[in-house]
Chains A and B, each alone.
Chain A
Amino acid sequence: MPQLDIRDLHAHYGREPVLQGVSLSAERGEVVGLIGPSGSGKSTLLRALVGLTQPSAGEVLVDDRRIDYRDRASQRWLRERLAIVFQQYNLFQNMTVLRNVTIAPLEIQKRSKAEVEALATTLLDKVGMGHKRDAYPDELSGGQQQRVAIARALALRPEILLLDEVTSALDPERVNEVLDTIRALTREGITMLIVSHEMAFVREVSTRVVMMDHGRVVETGPPAQIFDTPREDRTRQFVSRILRH
């Protein structure tokens, strides 16, 4: 039984279809890399999974439980298991680094202060931000904010982590510090869906790569297949164009 099972998912922005029947599953501990051109629906897929964009058809199962995106309780249950990190980090600007990381575990998950603060300290150290726990987001660089955002997502103790182009908004020299952080996470057995344009990185960390175009899955396979011997013309075209850069 896959931990995450997406079946024939559809979504629209207004009348524009952005997901046109995406089926995809992830086993526990798998790292799934999502690639494809801009507008292919990768980010929308992640947004739909966490309920920020309402799916118009299809179903999502987490641990074999069907998610009802119109039901608050079902969404809450989902969001305790599934965390997302955004391209623009979206840290709360009015809170310190530590508060950003601890507020949801403390006040929403109602976990103990001692446990949450210990975990937050561990996580902030792990992403290399322990020394900035009392800083405000606007005092940090983009890469630093993104590392805090990853710690904030992990503090929820999610079973599945969604990463939505988390390095796209960063200065080129800041990209590696964030990729290093994610690389370390992939060794810890947390299930991940990674949307990224860093092809070398996707190839390195993914157990499986999914090529998307026009709101559909074009091809799925191990990294070596997708990047070296793609079966679909569209994948070959995309990969060769990207890798030539």
Chain B
Amino acid sequence: MGTLWERLVLEAPEFFNSYNLLFLAEAAARTLGMTAIGCSIGFVAGLALAVLRGSRAATLAPARWLAVLYVETFRRIPFLVILFVVLYAIQPLFPDASLTAIATVAICLLSTAYLSEIVRAGLESVPRQQLEAAEVLNFGPARALFQVVLPQSWRVILPPAVAFAVMFIKDTALASHMGVVELTFAGKIFVERGFSPVLGFGAILVLYFALSWPLSRLGAYLEKRLAPARHP
């Protein structure tokens, strides 16, 4: 252990220079950014799919069927596979697309599938009679969704949705396989440049924790806050 410790002490000043810190910060921002953008777009698209699946109009039946197909398919494909499929699908069409953008598209595709299931469970937790009451008061479908159903679904939607985002902060590590310079890739670079793996991966470990811990706390807070009462 002594030798490892001596090596860490020796490397630390060089490791924690401003260039490396900036590099780490950028990688952390990329990890967080891809997750935030991917999950936000995924949430909106997932909401649209969930609403579509909950609709009863006969004309939407083919669209509903496609939505089910999409959700069930993407939830069964490993994220790494989606990443490479998206990479090889996009690159011929948009040769200039950045790897980060491509990875973000892959995150959107996957998070849409998962979040639509989370949103659907939330929407279905609201009794159908709430919608009927809105209907007879002449609420249109959109107004009923945003003013009656969705506000009552947050307590069911938010805890698992936040948990999903926390999980995805970690899963973006897979994007390092296609060369996106996020946290895990940054760790590999440090090791390749000769730093001790304990130092390189130790630093990104701390950063992963720093990114996901506040979000986990937020999830726990929301769960506690939203659980008992149905009103805000």
Using CB atoms and an 8 Å cutoff, list the residues of chain A in contact with chain B: 50-52, 76, 79-80, 83-84, 86, 88, 90-95, 103-104, 107-109, 136-138, 152, 156
Contacts and interface: CB of A to CB of B under 8 A. Distances in A.
A91 B133 contact: yes
Nearest to A135: B231
Which of B133, B134, B135, B139 has its CB near the most chain A CB atoms (within 10 A)? B133
Contacts of A104: 137-139
B138 A79 contact: yes
A93 B143 CA distance: 15
B230 A90 contact: no
27 contacts: A52-B132, A52-B135, A52-B136, A80-B138, A86-B132, A88-B129, A90-B127, A90-B129, A90-B130, A90-B132, A90-B133, A91-B133, A92-B133, A92-B147, A93-B230, A93-B231, A94-B152, A94-B230, A94-B231, A103-B137, A104-B137, A108-B143, A136-B230, A136-B231, A137-B231, A138-B230, A156-B137
B231 A138 contact: yes
Contacts of B130: 90, 92-93
Interface residues of B, number: 20
Interface string B99-138: 0000000000000000000000000000101101111111
Nearest to B154: A94
The list of the 6 closest CB pairs from A to B, nearest first, reads A90-B133, A136-B231, A104-B137, A94-B151, A93-B230, A90-B129
Interface of B: 127, 129-130, 132-139, 143, 147-148, 151-152, 229-232
Given A52-B132, A104-B137, 13 more contacts: A51-B136, A79-B137, A79-B138, A84-B136, A86-B132, A88-B129, A90-B132, A92-B133, A93-B152, A103-B137, A107-B143, A138-B230, A156-B137
A92 B148 contact: yes
A50 B136 contact: yes
B139 A108 contact: yes
Contacts of A136: 229-231
Contacts of A156: 137
B232 A94 contact: yes
A123 B151 CA distance: 26
B230 A86 contact: no
Contacts of B133: 86, 90-92
Query: Could you tell me the dominant secondary structure of chain B's interface residues?
Result: helix
Which of A50, A83, A93, A107 has its CB near the most chain B CB atoms (within 10 A)? A93
Contacts of B229: 136, 138
Which of B127, B129, B133, B136 has its CB near the most chain A CB atoms (within 10 A)? B136
A92 to B, nearest CB: 5
Contacts of B231: 93-95, 136-138
A49 B148 CA distance: 23
B154 to A, nearest CB: 9
A108 B137 contact: yes
Nearest to B134: A92
A107 B146 CA distance: 13
Contact of A79 (B136, B143, B148, B230): B136
Nearest to A52: B132
Contact of B138 (A76, A94, A95, A137): A76
Contacts of B137: 79, 103-104, 108, 152, 156
Nearest to B131: A90
Contacts of A107: 143
